[in-house]
Structure 1
Amino acid sequence: MSEIEQQEPWRWSEEVWRGHVERVRAGRSLLPAAGPGRWPDGARVAVAISFDSDHETPALRDGETSPGRMAQGEYGARAAVPRILELLDRYEAPSSFYMPAVCALLRPDEAPTYVEHGHEVAVHGWIHERNTLLAHDDELDLLGRAMEVLESQTGVRPTGIRTPSWDFSDSTLDVVRELGFTYDSSLMADDDPYEILQDGERTGIVEIPVDWIRDDAPYLMMERFQSLRPYTPPREVGRIWRDEFDAAYAAGGVFQLTMHPHFIGHRSRLLVLDELLAHIRTHDDVWFATHADLAAHVAPGLTD
Protein backbone atom coordinates (compact mmCIF):
# COMPACT_ATOMS: atom_id res chain seq x y z
CA MET A 1 0.00 0.00 0.00
CA SER A 2 1.34 3.41 -0.92
CA GLU A 3 1.98 6.22 1.56
CA ILE A 4 -1.11 8.02 0.26
CA GLU A 5 -3.31 4.96 0.79
CA GLN A 6 -2.08 4.64 4.37
CA GLN A 7 -3.78 7.94 5.10
CA GLU A 8 -7.24 8.09 6.62
CA PRO A 9 -9.68 7.38 3.75
CA TRP A 10 -11.29 10.78 4.14
CA ARG A 11 -7.94 12.26 3.12
CA TRP A 12 -7.76 10.28 -0.13
CA SER A 13 -7.96 12.12 -3.41
CA GLU A 14 -10.67 11.22 -5.87
CA GLU A 15 -8.08 9.39 -7.95
CA VAL A 16 -7.26 7.08 -5.04
CA TRP A 17 -10.79 6.24 -3.89
CA ARG A 18 -12.08 5.96 -7.42
CA GLY A 19 -9.22 3.58 -8.25
CA HIS A 20 -10.22 1.25 -5.41
CA VAL A 21 -13.85 1.25 -6.53
CA GLU A 22 -13.04 0.63 -10.19
CA ARG A 23 -10.38 -2.09 -9.65
CA VAL A 24 -12.89 -4.94 -9.97
CA ARG A 25 -16.36 -3.94 -11.06
CA ALA A 26 -19.53 -5.37 -12.57
CA GLY A 27 -19.84 -4.87 -16.31
CA ARG A 28 -22.65 -5.74 -18.65
CA SER A 29 -25.38 -8.09 -17.46
CA LEU A 30 -25.15 -11.49 -19.11
CA LEU A 31 -28.77 -12.41 -18.44
CA PRO A 32 -30.05 -13.58 -21.85
CA ALA A 33 -32.87 -11.68 -23.48
CA ALA A 34 -36.31 -12.39 -22.05
CA GLY A 35 -38.44 -14.93 -23.82
CA PRO A 36 -38.79 -18.67 -24.42
CA GLY A 37 -35.14 -18.99 -25.41
CA ARG A 38 -33.64 -17.41 -22.29
CA TRP A 39 -32.95 -20.78 -20.66
CA PRO A 40 -32.67 -24.26 -22.23
CA ASP A 41 -35.84 -26.20 -23.06
CA GLY A 42 -38.03 -23.17 -22.45
CA ALA A 43 -37.25 -23.00 -18.73
CA ARG A 44 -38.32 -19.87 -16.89
CA VAL A 45 -35.58 -19.91 -14.25
CA ALA A 46 -32.03 -21.25 -13.88
CA VAL A 47 -31.20 -22.98 -10.60
CA ALA A 48 -27.50 -23.19 -9.68
CA ILE A 49 -26.93 -25.21 -6.50
CA SER A 50 -23.42 -25.35 -5.06
CA PHE A 51 -21.48 -26.80 -2.13
CA ASP A 52 -18.14 -25.73 -0.72
CA SER A 53 -16.60 -29.00 0.46
CA ASP A 54 -14.24 -27.36 2.95
CA HIS A 55 -14.19 -30.17 5.54
CA GLU A 56 -11.06 -29.78 7.74
CA THR A 57 -9.39 -26.96 5.82
CA PRO A 58 -10.76 -23.81 7.54
CA ALA A 59 -9.38 -25.15 10.83
CA LEU A 60 -6.10 -26.27 9.26
CA ARG A 61 -5.66 -22.85 7.66
CA ASP A 62 -5.82 -21.26 11.09
CA GLY A 63 -3.49 -23.82 12.67
CA GLU A 64 -6.32 -25.38 14.69
CA THR A 65 -5.40 -29.06 14.62
CA SER A 66 -7.15 -30.52 17.65
CA PRO A 67 -8.90 -33.87 17.08
CA GLY A 68 -12.20 -32.17 17.87
CA ARG A 69 -11.81 -29.61 15.10
CA MET A 70 -10.65 -32.28 12.68
CA ALA A 71 -13.69 -34.43 13.53
CA GLN A 72 -16.05 -31.54 12.89
CA GLY A 73 -14.66 -31.21 9.37
CA GLU A 74 -14.55 -34.96 8.84
CA TYR A 75 -18.31 -35.10 9.41
CA GLY A 76 -18.82 -33.22 6.15
CA ALA A 77 -17.04 -35.85 4.07
CA ARG A 78 -18.00 -38.93 6.07
CA ALA A 79 -21.68 -38.39 6.89
CA ALA A 80 -22.96 -35.37 4.96
CA VAL A 81 -21.63 -35.84 1.43
CA PRO A 82 -23.27 -39.26 0.88
CA ARG A 83 -26.62 -37.86 2.05
CA ILE A 84 -26.25 -34.82 -0.19
CA LEU A 85 -25.41 -36.91 -3.25
CA GLU A 86 -28.42 -39.15 -2.65
CA LEU A 87 -30.67 -36.10 -2.33
CA LEU A 88 -29.34 -34.51 -5.52
CA ASP A 89 -29.75 -37.78 -7.39
CA ARG A 90 -33.35 -38.05 -6.24
CA TYR A 91 -34.22 -34.57 -7.52
CA GLU A 92 -32.03 -34.85 -10.63
CA ALA A 93 -30.23 -31.68 -9.64
CA PRO A 94 -26.71 -31.39 -11.12
CA SER A 95 -24.69 -29.13 -8.86
CA SER A 96 -21.24 -27.61 -8.41
CA PHE A 97 -18.77 -28.66 -5.72
CA TYR A 98 -15.96 -26.24 -4.86
CA MET A 99 -13.14 -28.12 -3.19
CA PRO A 100 -9.85 -27.04 -1.57
CA ALA A 101 -6.99 -29.13 -2.92
CA VAL A 102 -6.02 -30.34 0.55
CA CYS A 103 -9.48 -31.91 0.91
CA ALA A 104 -9.06 -33.62 -2.44
CA LEU A 105 -5.65 -34.96 -1.41
CA LEU A 106 -7.01 -36.23 1.91
CA ARG A 107 -9.72 -38.24 0.09
CA PRO A 108 -8.68 -38.91 -3.53
CA ASP A 109 -11.99 -40.63 -4.31
CA GLU A 110 -14.22 -37.72 -3.30
CA ALA A 111 -13.82 -35.41 -6.30
CA PRO A 112 -14.18 -38.28 -8.83
CA THR A 113 -17.35 -39.36 -7.02
CA TYR A 114 -18.88 -35.93 -7.56
CA VAL A 115 -18.16 -36.21 -11.27
CA GLU A 116 -19.60 -39.75 -11.43
CA HIS A 117 -22.87 -38.35 -10.07
CA GLY A 118 -22.98 -35.73 -12.82
CA HIS A 119 -21.72 -32.74 -10.84
CA GLU A 120 -19.05 -30.14 -11.47
CA VAL A 121 -15.83 -29.96 -9.45
CA ALA A 122 -14.23 -26.50 -9.30
CA VAL A 123 -11.38 -24.74 -7.52
CA HIS A 124 -11.73 -23.44 -3.96
CA GLY A 125 -8.15 -22.66 -3.04
CA TRP A 126 -5.39 -24.86 -1.64
CA ILE A 127 -6.11 -24.97 2.11
CA HIS A 128 -8.95 -22.45 2.30
CA GLU A 129 -6.37 -19.67 2.52
CA ARG A 130 -7.25 -16.01 2.88
CA ASN A 131 -6.31 -14.44 -0.44
CA THR A 132 -6.11 -10.90 0.87
CA LEU A 133 -3.15 -11.96 3.02
CA LEU A 134 -1.20 -13.34 0.05
CA ALA A 135 1.17 -11.81 -2.46
CA HIS A 136 0.32 -12.28 -6.14
CA ASP A 137 2.90 -15.02 -6.72
CA ASP A 138 1.77 -17.04 -3.71
CA GLU A 139 -1.86 -16.80 -4.77
CA LEU A 140 -0.94 -17.85 -8.30
CA ASP A 141 1.09 -20.79 -7.02
CA LEU A 142 -1.61 -22.09 -4.67
CA LEU A 143 -4.48 -21.79 -7.14
CA GLY A 144 -2.40 -23.24 -9.97
CA ARG A 145 -1.48 -26.27 -7.89
CA ALA A 146 -5.09 -26.64 -6.74
CA MET A 147 -6.26 -26.70 -10.34
CA GLU A 148 -3.70 -29.39 -11.17
CA VAL A 149 -4.78 -31.61 -8.26
CA LEU A 150 -8.46 -31.51 -9.25
CA GLU A 151 -7.66 -32.10 -12.92
CA SER A 152 -5.43 -35.08 -12.10
CA GLN A 153 -8.14 -36.67 -9.95
CA THR A 154 -11.18 -36.04 -12.16
CA GLY A 155 -9.68 -35.94 -15.64
CA VAL A 156 -11.44 -32.61 -16.18
CA ARG A 157 -9.68 -29.25 -16.00
CA PRO A 158 -11.76 -26.92 -13.82
CA THR A 159 -13.15 -23.89 -15.61
CA GLY A 160 -14.42 -22.08 -12.54
CA ILE A 161 -13.22 -20.79 -9.22
CA ARG A 162 -14.76 -19.70 -5.95
CA THR A 163 -12.26 -18.04 -3.69
CA PRO A 164 -12.12 -19.35 -0.10
CA SER A 165 -14.49 -17.34 2.09
CA TRP A 166 -15.19 -15.28 -1.06
CA ASP A 167 -11.97 -13.43 -0.18
CA PHE A 168 -11.03 -11.51 -3.34
CA SER A 169 -7.66 -9.75 -3.21
CA ASP A 170 -6.26 -7.01 -5.45
CA SER A 171 -4.41 -9.81 -7.30
CA THR A 172 -7.17 -12.40 -7.55
CA LEU A 173 -8.60 -11.28 -10.87
CA ASP A 174 -5.12 -11.19 -12.40
CA VAL A 175 -4.56 -14.76 -11.19
CA VAL A 176 -7.95 -15.90 -12.48
CA ARG A 177 -7.07 -14.56 -15.92
CA GLU A 178 -3.53 -15.97 -15.89
CA LEU A 179 -4.80 -19.46 -15.07
CA GLY A 180 -7.44 -19.36 -17.80
CA PHE A 181 -10.60 -19.66 -15.73
CA THR A 182 -13.75 -18.82 -17.67
CA TYR A 183 -15.88 -17.89 -14.68
CA ASP A 184 -15.72 -16.85 -11.04
CA SER A 185 -18.32 -17.23 -8.30
CA SER A 186 -17.09 -15.06 -5.42
CA LEU A 187 -18.52 -11.56 -5.93
CA MET A 188 -21.86 -9.97 -5.09
CA ALA A 189 -22.68 -7.12 -7.47
CA ASP A 190 -25.91 -8.55 -8.94
CA ASP A 191 -28.48 -11.34 -8.70
CA ASP A 192 -27.71 -12.62 -12.18
CA PRO A 193 -24.49 -13.32 -14.14
CA TYR A 194 -22.41 -10.43 -15.40
CA GLU A 195 -19.04 -9.76 -17.00
CA ILE A 196 -16.24 -8.65 -14.68
CA LEU A 197 -14.45 -5.39 -15.48
CA GLN A 198 -10.89 -4.69 -14.38
CA ASP A 199 -9.92 -1.01 -14.11
CA GLY A 200 -12.81 -0.23 -16.44
CA GLU A 201 -11.74 -2.74 -19.09
CA ARG A 202 -13.68 -5.84 -20.13
CA THR A 203 -12.15 -9.18 -19.08
CA GLY A 204 -14.30 -11.83 -20.75
CA ILE A 205 -14.74 -13.48 -17.33
CA VAL A 206 -18.25 -14.48 -16.32
CA GLU A 207 -19.26 -13.77 -12.74
CA ILE A 208 -21.95 -15.98 -11.17
CA PRO A 209 -22.69 -13.86 -8.11
CA VAL A 210 -23.13 -15.17 -4.60
CA ASP A 211 -24.57 -13.56 -1.49
CA TRP A 212 -24.57 -14.25 2.24
CA ILE A 213 -28.37 -14.43 2.14
CA ARG A 214 -28.09 -17.52 -0.05
CA ASP A 215 -25.36 -19.19 2.03
CA ASP A 216 -25.87 -21.57 4.93
CA ALA A 217 -22.79 -20.47 6.92
CA PRO A 218 -24.11 -17.14 8.31
CA TYR A 219 -27.18 -18.91 9.67
CA LEU A 220 -25.73 -22.24 10.83
CA MET A 221 -22.05 -21.76 11.72
CA MET A 222 -20.93 -22.46 15.30
CA GLU A 223 -17.66 -21.54 17.04
CA ARG A 224 -17.35 -22.90 20.58
CA PHE A 225 -14.92 -20.35 22.00
CA GLN A 226 -16.27 -17.32 20.17
CA SER A 227 -19.57 -15.48 20.20
CA LEU A 228 -20.51 -17.08 16.88
CA ARG A 229 -23.69 -19.10 17.41
CA PRO A 230 -26.47 -20.25 15.06
CA TYR A 231 -29.28 -17.74 15.46
CA THR A 232 -31.77 -18.75 12.76
CA PRO A 233 -33.76 -22.00 12.95
CA PRO A 234 -33.13 -24.17 9.87
CA ARG A 235 -36.76 -23.99 8.74
CA GLU A 236 -36.57 -20.20 8.76
CA VAL A 237 -33.45 -20.46 6.58
CA GLY A 238 -35.48 -22.64 4.23
CA ARG A 239 -38.21 -20.01 4.09
CA ILE A 240 -35.69 -17.32 3.13
CA TRP A 241 -34.27 -19.50 0.37
CA ARG A 242 -37.74 -20.41 -0.88
CA ASP A 243 -38.60 -16.71 -1.11
CA GLU A 244 -35.35 -16.12 -2.99
CA PHE A 245 -36.23 -18.87 -5.48
CA ASP A 246 -39.79 -17.60 -5.92
CA ALA A 247 -38.50 -14.10 -6.68
CA ALA A 248 -35.95 -15.45 -9.17
CA TYR A 249 -38.69 -17.51 -10.80
CA ALA A 250 -40.98 -14.49 -11.10
CA ALA A 251 -38.16 -12.48 -12.68
CA GLY A 252 -37.06 -15.29 -14.99
CA GLY A 253 -33.52 -15.04 -13.64
CA VAL A 254 -31.04 -17.16 -11.68
CA PHE A 255 -31.44 -18.74 -8.27
CA GLN A 256 -27.94 -19.45 -6.93
CA LEU A 257 -27.33 -21.17 -3.58
CA THR A 258 -24.13 -21.91 -1.63
CA MET A 259 -23.92 -24.55 1.11
CA HIS A 260 -21.29 -26.50 3.04
CA PRO A 261 -21.60 -30.25 3.71
CA HIS A 262 -20.50 -29.91 7.34
CA PHE A 263 -23.22 -27.31 7.97
CA ILE A 264 -26.23 -28.26 5.83
CA GLY A 265 -25.53 -32.00 5.92
CA HIS A 266 -26.84 -32.65 9.42
CA ARG A 267 -30.14 -34.52 9.36
CA SER A 268 -32.37 -31.77 10.75
CA ARG A 269 -30.82 -29.28 8.34
CA LEU A 270 -30.74 -31.38 5.19
CA LEU A 271 -34.50 -31.68 5.55
CA VAL A 272 -34.64 -27.97 4.67
CA LEU A 273 -32.79 -28.54 1.40
CA ASP A 274 -35.03 -31.52 0.68
CA GLU A 275 -38.12 -29.36 1.11
CA LEU A 276 -36.63 -26.57 -1.01
CA LEU A 277 -35.81 -28.93 -3.89
CA ALA A 278 -39.28 -30.45 -3.64
CA HIS A 279 -40.78 -26.95 -3.92
CA ILE A 280 -38.59 -26.11 -6.90
CA ARG A 281 -39.59 -29.37 -8.61
CA THR A 282 -43.28 -28.41 -8.39
CA HIS A 283 -42.40 -26.08 -11.27
CA ASP A 284 -42.04 -27.78 -14.64
CA ASP A 285 -40.06 -24.98 -16.26
CA VAL A 286 -36.84 -25.07 -14.22
CA TRP A 287 -33.32 -25.58 -15.56
CA PHE A 288 -30.96 -27.13 -13.00
CA ALA A 289 -27.45 -26.23 -14.10
CA THR A 290 -23.94 -26.50 -12.79
CA HIS A 291 -22.19 -23.18 -12.49
CA ALA A 292 -19.98 -24.19 -15.43
CA ASP A 293 -23.06 -24.93 -17.56
CA LEU A 294 -24.63 -21.62 -16.55
CA ALA A 295 -21.43 -19.73 -17.39
CA ALA A 296 -21.24 -21.42 -20.79
CA HIS A 297 -24.88 -20.61 -21.52
CA VAL A 298 -24.51 -16.89 -20.81
CA ALA A 299 -21.02 -16.56 -22.34
CA PRO A 300 -22.33 -15.56 -25.82
CA GLY A 301 -23.39 -12.31 -24.16
CA LEU A 302 -19.72 -11.45 -23.84
CA THR A 303 -19.50 -10.92 -27.60
CA ASP A 304 -22.75 -9.05 -28.16
Structure 2
Amino acid sequence: MTTVCLTFDFDAVSLWISTMRQTSATPLSRGEYGALVGLPRVLDLLKTKQVSATFFVPAHTAGAFPSQAVAIQEAGHEIALHGYCHETPVGLSRDEEERLLDRSIEKLRAVLGNEFSPQGYRSPAWDLTPDSISLLEERGILYDSSMMADDYRPYRARKGYDATEDHYQPGTPSNVIEIPVAWELDDFPHFAFLNKPMYLGLRTPGEVFGLWKDEFDFCHSLGDGVFTLTMHPQVIGRGPRIEMLSRLIDHMRATPGVVFRTVAEEARKRSLSLIGSEAGLANFSNP
Protein backbone atom coordinates (compact mmCIF):
# COMPACT_ATOMS: atom_id res chain seq x y z
CA MET A 1 0.00 0.00 0.00
CA THR A 2 1.32 3.42 -0.98
CA THR A 3 0.22 6.51 0.96
CA VAL A 4 0.01 9.91 -0.71
CA CYS A 5 0.24 12.96 1.55
CA LEU A 6 -0.59 16.22 -0.18
CA THR A 7 0.82 19.08 1.89
CA PHE A 8 0.58 22.83 1.43
CA ASP A 9 2.69 25.45 3.16
CA PHE A 10 0.28 28.37 3.46
CA ASP A 11 2.96 31.01 3.93
CA ALA A 12 1.12 34.01 2.44
CA VAL A 13 3.06 37.21 3.20
CA SER A 14 5.12 35.73 6.07
CA LEU A 15 7.53 34.17 3.56
CA TRP A 16 8.38 37.59 2.13
CA ILE A 17 8.50 39.42 5.45
CA SER A 18 10.77 36.96 7.23
CA THR A 19 12.64 34.59 4.93
CA MET A 20 13.03 36.85 1.90
CA ARG A 21 13.28 40.15 3.83
CA GLN A 22 11.21 41.88 1.16
CA THR A 23 8.41 44.11 2.44
CA SER A 24 7.73 46.31 -0.55
CA ALA A 25 4.35 46.08 -2.21
CA THR A 26 5.11 43.71 -5.07
CA PRO A 27 6.68 40.83 -3.08
CA LEU A 28 3.90 41.11 -0.50
CA SER A 29 1.34 40.95 -3.29
CA ARG A 30 2.70 37.51 -4.22
CA GLY A 31 1.78 36.35 -0.73
CA GLU A 32 -1.64 37.95 -1.06
CA TYR A 33 -2.13 36.03 -4.29
CA GLY A 34 -1.55 32.81 -2.36
CA ALA A 35 -4.22 33.68 0.17
CA LEU A 36 -6.80 35.26 -2.11
CA VAL A 37 -6.42 33.31 -5.38
CA GLY A 38 -4.19 30.28 -4.91
CA LEU A 39 -5.75 28.92 -1.73
CA PRO A 40 -9.35 28.93 -3.04
CA ARG A 41 -8.18 27.04 -6.14
CA VAL A 42 -6.38 24.48 -3.97
CA LEU A 43 -9.42 24.03 -1.73
CA ASP A 44 -11.72 23.70 -4.74
CA LEU A 45 -9.47 21.03 -6.26
CA LEU A 46 -9.29 19.05 -3.02
CA LYS A 47 -13.07 19.23 -2.68
CA THR A 48 -13.57 18.05 -6.27
CA LYS A 49 -11.13 15.16 -5.81
CA GLN A 50 -12.49 14.39 -2.31
CA VAL A 51 -8.99 14.38 -0.84
CA SER A 52 -7.97 15.56 2.63
CA ALA A 53 -4.64 17.38 2.86
CA THR A 54 -2.33 18.88 5.46
CA PHE A 55 -1.72 22.63 5.59
CA PHE A 56 1.33 23.93 7.43
CA VAL A 57 0.34 27.43 8.54
CA PRO A 58 2.60 30.05 10.14
CA ALA A 59 0.91 31.83 13.03
CA HIS A 60 1.42 35.12 11.17
CA THR A 61 -0.64 33.81 8.25
CA ALA A 62 -3.52 32.83 10.52
CA GLY A 63 -3.52 36.29 12.04
CA ALA A 64 -3.24 38.10 8.71
CA PHE A 65 -5.79 35.92 6.86
CA PRO A 66 -8.06 34.44 9.55
CA SER A 67 -11.02 33.68 7.28
CA GLN A 68 -8.77 31.69 4.96
CA ALA A 69 -7.28 29.72 7.86
CA VAL A 70 -10.75 28.95 9.16
CA ALA A 71 -11.84 27.89 5.65
CA ILE A 72 -9.07 25.27 5.64
CA GLN A 73 -10.22 24.01 9.01
CA GLU A 74 -13.90 23.96 8.06
CA ALA A 75 -13.11 21.99 4.89
CA GLY A 76 -11.83 19.19 7.13
CA HIS A 77 -8.13 19.48 6.37
CA GLU A 78 -5.35 19.15 8.92
CA ILE A 79 -3.61 22.32 10.08
CA ALA A 80 -0.10 21.92 11.46
CA LEU A 81 2.62 24.22 12.80
CA HIS A 82 4.95 26.15 10.50
CA GLY A 83 6.71 28.69 12.69
CA TYR A 84 5.52 32.09 13.85
CA CYS A 85 6.46 34.27 10.86
CA HIS A 86 8.23 31.74 8.63
CA GLU A 87 11.51 32.19 10.47
CA THR A 88 14.34 29.69 10.76
CA PRO A 89 14.92 28.36 14.28
CA VAL A 90 18.63 27.95 13.56
CA GLY A 91 20.65 30.32 15.74
CA LEU A 92 18.01 30.57 18.45
CA SER A 93 18.70 29.51 22.01
CA ARG A 94 16.59 26.70 23.43
CA ASP A 95 14.53 29.19 25.44
CA GLU A 96 13.99 31.43 22.40
CA GLU A 97 12.91 28.52 20.23
CA GLU A 98 10.59 27.27 22.97
CA ARG A 99 8.92 30.66 23.39
CA LEU A 100 8.46 31.01 19.63
CA LEU A 101 6.87 27.57 19.38
CA ASP A 102 4.44 28.32 22.21
CA ARG A 103 3.57 31.75 20.76
CA SER A 104 2.78 30.07 17.45
CA ILE A 105 0.37 27.63 19.07
CA GLU A 106 -1.31 30.39 21.09
CA LYS A 107 -1.86 32.60 18.05
CA LEU A 108 -3.25 29.74 15.98
CA ARG A 109 -5.67 28.91 18.81
CA ALA A 110 -6.78 32.53 18.90
CA VAL A 111 -7.92 32.13 15.29
CA LEU A 112 -8.92 28.46 15.09
CA GLY A 113 -10.36 28.01 18.59
CA ASN A 114 -8.98 26.83 21.90
CA GLU A 115 -9.70 23.23 20.94
CA PHE A 116 -7.05 23.41 18.21
CA SER A 117 -4.41 20.80 19.05
CA PRO A 118 -1.64 20.60 16.45
CA GLN A 119 -0.30 17.14 15.69
CA GLY A 120 2.58 18.12 13.44
CA TYR A 121 5.32 20.59 12.67
CA ARG A 122 7.33 21.62 9.62
CA SER A 123 10.22 24.02 9.97
CA PRO A 124 9.76 27.04 7.68
CA ALA A 125 13.37 26.60 6.60
CA TRP A 126 13.32 22.79 6.53
CA ASP A 127 16.01 23.16 9.15
CA LEU A 128 16.10 22.23 12.82
CA THR A 129 18.28 22.88 15.85
CA PRO A 130 19.60 20.18 18.22
CA ASP A 131 16.69 21.17 20.52
CA SER A 132 13.81 21.22 17.99
CA ILE A 133 12.74 17.57 18.20
CA SER A 134 12.96 17.55 22.01
CA LEU A 135 10.72 20.63 22.19
CA LEU A 136 8.16 18.98 19.90
CA GLU A 137 8.27 15.75 21.89
CA GLU A 138 7.73 17.60 25.17
CA ARG A 139 4.53 19.14 23.75
CA GLY A 140 3.19 15.84 22.51
CA ILE A 141 3.62 16.73 18.84
CA LEU A 142 3.18 13.51 16.89
CA TYR A 143 5.34 14.20 13.86
CA ASP A 144 7.83 16.45 12.12
CA SER A 145 8.11 16.87 8.35
CA SER A 146 11.35 18.75 7.75
CA MET A 147 14.15 16.22 7.24
CA MET A 148 15.54 14.00 4.51
CA ALA A 149 17.31 10.95 6.00
CA ASP A 150 15.06 8.77 3.85
CA ASP A 151 12.95 9.48 0.81
CA TYR A 152 9.75 7.43 1.20
CA ARG A 153 10.06 5.70 4.58
CA PRO A 154 9.01 7.48 7.79
CA TYR A 155 11.34 7.04 10.72
CA ARG A 156 11.81 8.17 14.32
CA ALA A 157 13.31 11.64 14.43
CA ARG A 158 16.49 11.90 16.46
CA LYS A 159 17.15 14.55 19.08
CA GLY A 160 20.29 16.10 20.49
CA TYR A 161 22.61 15.57 17.54
CA ASP A 162 26.18 16.88 17.60
CA ALA A 163 28.03 17.67 14.37
CA THR A 164 31.56 19.06 14.13
CA GLU A 165 34.40 18.83 11.63
CA ASP A 166 35.84 15.99 13.72
CA HIS A 167 32.83 13.80 14.45
CA TYR A 168 29.11 13.24 13.99
CA GLN A 169 26.71 11.99 16.65
CA PRO A 170 23.18 11.76 15.20
CA GLY A 171 21.47 11.77 18.58
CA THR A 172 18.92 9.45 20.13
CA PRO A 173 15.54 8.31 18.75
CA SER A 174 12.55 10.33 19.88
CA ASN A 175 8.84 9.58 19.88
CA VAL A 176 8.36 12.10 17.06
CA ILE A 177 7.68 10.43 13.71
CA GLU A 178 9.58 11.95 10.81
CA ILE A 179 7.66 12.14 7.53
CA PRO A 180 10.54 12.98 5.17
CA VAL A 181 10.48 15.70 2.53
CA ALA A 182 12.55 16.40 -0.58
CA TRP A 183 13.38 19.43 -2.69
CA GLU A 184 12.52 17.35 -5.76
CA LEU A 185 8.96 17.10 -4.43
CA ASP A 186 8.57 20.79 -3.60
CA ASP A 187 6.92 23.16 -6.07
CA PHE A 188 8.97 26.21 -5.06
CA PRO A 189 12.37 25.33 -6.60
CA HIS A 190 10.69 24.16 -9.81
CA PHE A 191 8.39 27.13 -10.38
CA ALA A 192 9.36 30.15 -8.30
CA PHE A 193 11.19 33.12 -9.77
CA LEU A 194 13.19 35.40 -7.47
CA ASN A 195 15.25 38.38 -8.56
CA LYS A 196 16.73 39.07 -5.09
CA PRO A 197 18.64 36.75 -4.99
CA MET A 198 18.38 35.65 -8.61
CA TYR A 199 16.59 32.32 -8.79
CA LEU A 200 15.12 30.97 -12.00
CA GLY A 201 12.59 28.23 -11.35
CA LEU A 202 9.98 28.67 -14.08
CA ARG A 203 9.82 25.08 -15.30
CA THR A 204 6.75 24.11 -17.26
CA PRO A 205 3.92 22.19 -15.58
CA GLY A 206 4.55 19.34 -18.01
CA GLU A 207 8.17 18.99 -16.89
CA VAL A 208 7.21 18.90 -13.23
CA PHE A 209 4.35 16.49 -13.89
CA GLY A 210 6.84 14.06 -15.41
CA LEU A 211 9.28 14.43 -12.53
CA TRP A 212 6.62 13.99 -9.83
CA LYS A 213 4.98 11.09 -11.69
CA ASP A 214 8.30 9.25 -11.93
CA GLU A 215 8.98 9.83 -8.23
CA PHE A 216 5.52 8.55 -7.34
CA ASP A 217 5.84 5.49 -9.56
CA PHE A 218 9.17 4.57 -7.93
CA CYS A 219 7.71 5.11 -4.47
CA HIS A 220 4.81 2.83 -5.36
CA SER A 221 7.21 0.12 -6.54
CA LEU A 222 8.57 -0.11 -2.99
CA GLY A 223 5.26 -1.44 -1.72
CA ASP A 224 4.86 0.53 1.52
CA GLY A 225 6.13 4.04 0.85
CA VAL A 226 4.82 7.49 1.69
CA PHE A 227 4.80 9.98 -1.18
CA THR A 228 4.80 13.48 0.29
CA LEU A 229 4.37 16.53 -1.94
CA THR A 230 5.15 20.00 -0.57
CA MET A 231 3.31 22.83 -2.30
CA HIS A 232 2.52 26.49 -1.73
CA PRO A 233 -0.79 28.11 -2.73
CA GLN A 234 1.07 31.14 -4.11
CA VAL A 235 3.08 28.82 -6.38
CA ILE A 236 0.92 25.80 -7.29
CA GLY A 237 -2.20 28.00 -7.43
CA ARG A 238 -1.54 29.38 -10.90
CA GLY A 239 -3.97 27.93 -13.45
CA PRO A 240 -1.80 25.55 -15.49
CA ARG A 241 -0.06 24.29 -12.37
CA ILE A 242 -3.27 23.49 -10.50
CA GLU A 243 -4.44 21.64 -13.61
CA MET A 244 -1.18 19.67 -13.58
CA LEU A 245 -1.77 18.73 -9.94
CA SER A 246 -5.27 17.59 -10.87
CA ARG A 247 -3.84 15.26 -13.53
CA LEU A 248 -1.28 13.91 -11.09
CA ILE A 249 -3.95 13.17 -8.48
CA ASP A 250 -5.92 11.30 -11.17
CA HIS A 251 -2.83 9.25 -12.08
CA MET A 252 -2.13 8.36 -8.45
CA ARG A 253 -5.75 7.55 -7.71
CA ALA A 254 -5.95 5.24 -10.75
CA THR A 255 -2.96 3.26 -9.48
CA PRO A 256 -4.01 0.15 -7.51
CA GLY A 257 -3.04 0.04 -3.86
CA VAL A 258 -2.91 3.80 -3.21
CA VAL A 259 -4.56 5.77 -0.40
CA PHE A 260 -4.59 9.50 0.36
CA ARG A 261 -4.09 10.52 3.99
CA THR A 262 -3.26 13.61 6.01
CA VAL A 263 0.22 13.56 7.48
CA ALA A 264 -1.21 13.12 10.98
CA GLU A 265 -3.22 10.09 9.87
CA GLU A 266 -0.14 8.48 8.37
CA ALA A 267 2.07 9.38 11.34
CA ARG A 268 -0.42 7.78 13.75
CA LYS A 269 -0.41 4.63 11.65
CA ARG A 270 3.39 4.52 11.48
CA SER A 271 3.88 5.25 15.17
CA LEU A 272 2.31 1.90 16.05
CA SER A 273 5.21 0.07 14.42
CA LEU A 274 8.03 2.58 14.98
CA ILE A 275 7.64 3.62 18.61
CA GLY A 276 9.13 1.11 21.01
CA SER A 277 11.24 -0.58 18.36
CA GLU A 278 14.26 0.16 16.22
CA ALA A 279 12.27 -0.52 13.03
CA GLY A 280 12.25 2.30 10.56
CA LEU A 281 15.20 4.21 12.01
CA ALA A 282 17.40 5.81 9.43
CA ASN A 283 20.58 3.78 9.08
CA PHE A 284 23.11 5.97 10.84
CA SER A 285 26.51 4.71 11.88
CA ASN A 286 28.44 6.52 14.57
CA PRO A 287 32.10 7.23 13.84
The TM-score, its normalising length taken from structure 2, stands at 0.87
Q: Which amino acid is 1:219 matched to? A: H
Q: Does structure 1 retain, via aligned residues, the 8 Å contact 2:63–2:111? A: no
User: Of 231, 235, 247, which aligns to 2:218?
Assistant: 247
Give the C-alpha shift of residue 89 in structure 1. 1.0
Q: Does structure 1 retain, via aligned residues, the 8 Å contact 2:148–2:182? A: yes
- Whether 2:270 is the aligned partner of 1:298: answer yes
SS, match of residue 193 in structure 2: coil
Q: Which residue does 1:207 correspond to in 2?
A: 178
- Whether 2:3 is the aligned partner of 1:46: answer yes
Larger Rg computed on CA atoms: 1
Deviations 1:270-291 (A, max 9, x none): 1110110111121243211000
Q: Give the count of matched residue pairs.
A: 261
Deviations 1:230-272 (A, max 9, x none): 2522211111111111112221211111001111111121111
Detail structure 1 runs of 4+ shifted over 4 Å in the superposition: none
Q: Which residue does 1:71 correspond to in 2?
A: 29
CA distance in 2, matches of 1:256, 1:238: 15
- Whether 2:244 is the aligned partner of 1:286: answer no
Q: Which amino acid is 1:129 matched to? A: E
Q: Which residue does 1:7 correspond to in 2?
A: none
Listed as ranges, the gaps of 5+ residues in structure 1 are 1-43
- Whether 2:138 is the aligned partner of 1:178: answer yes
User: Of 127, 151, 157, which aligns to 1:167?
Assistant: 127
Give the C-alpha shift of residue 165 in structure 1. 1.9
Q: Does structure 1 retain, via aligned residues, the 8 Å contact 2:132–2:159? A: no
- Aligned ranges 1:190-201 → 2 under 5 Å: 190=150, 191-199=152-160, 200-201=171-172
Of 290-299 and 169-178, more deviation after overlay is shown by 169-178
User: Of 33, 49, 58, which aligns to 1:100?
Assistant: 58
Q: Does structure 2 retain, via aligned residues, the 8 Å contact 1:144–1:179? A: no
Q: Which amino acid is 2:156 matched to? A: E
CA distance in 2, matches of 1:125, 1:242: 30
Q: Which residue does 2:100 correspond to in 1?
A: 142
CA distance in 2, matches of 1:288, 1:261: 19
Q: Percent identity?
A: 36
Q: Which amino acid is 1:77 matched to? A: A
SS, match of residue 257 in structure 1: strand
The TM-score, its normalising length taken from structure 1, stands at 0.82
Of 44-53 and 138-147, more deviation after overlay is shown by 138-147
User: Of 256, 265, 276, which aligns to 2:237?
Assistant: 265
Give the C-alpha shift of residue 227 in structure 1. 2.0
Give the C-alpha shift of residue 95 in structure 1. 0.5
Q: Which residue does 1:125 correspond to in 2?
A: 83
- Whether 2:80 is the aligned partner of 1:109: answer no
CA distance in 1, matches of 2:108, 2:237: 23
Listed as ranges, the gaps of 5+ residues in structure 2 are 161-170, 278-287
